Amino acid sequence: MAAATPVYYDLLMEDIKSLPESYTVQIFDFVGYLKSKAASQEGCPICVKLRDPVTGEPLYNAETRKAIEEGNAILRGEIPAKRYSSLEEMLVDLEADD
């Protein structure tokens, strides 16, 4: 997986540093989760490891293809995007999805 460009990396690190410590721990736990999924037989649901041998296009699993299509539908305005007034509100919503 390609590394984030330095600009995005710096912005993300500044955002992470501004969070309460408990959120920072959750973020690093999530990164650890993604790494463990990537190492497991299931594979990371958002990582591209397989590519078409002819075209070089990424081959995504069904869950990832569905998420990409949902994101595209949100961008096209077909599905309303969730909006949050704070990062805390978003994290609470993400926890509720579990």
CB distance 12 to 6 below 8 Å: no
Reported as a single tens digit per residue, the pLDDT across 57-84 is: 777 778 888 988 998 998 898 999 888 8
The count of structural domains within the chain is: 1
| C-alpha torsion 41→46→50→42, nearest 10 | 10
Decide: 26 and 19 in contact? Cβ < 8 Å: no
Give domain status of residue 16, yes or no.
Answer: yes
Does residue 68 form part of some domain? Answer: yes
Does a structural domain hold residue 65?
A: yes
pLDDT at residue 25 is higher than 70: yes
Contact between 79 and 97 under an 8 Å Cβ cutoff? The reply is no
> What is residue 31's three-state secondary structure?
helix
For residue 52, is it within any domain? yes
Q: Is there a domain that residue 1 lies in?
A: no
| Sequence-distant contacts of 43-51: CB under 8 A, at least 24 apart | 47/1, 48/1
pTM over 0.75? The answer is no
For 29, the domain range is: 6-97
Residue from 23, 48, 53 nearest 38 by CA: 48
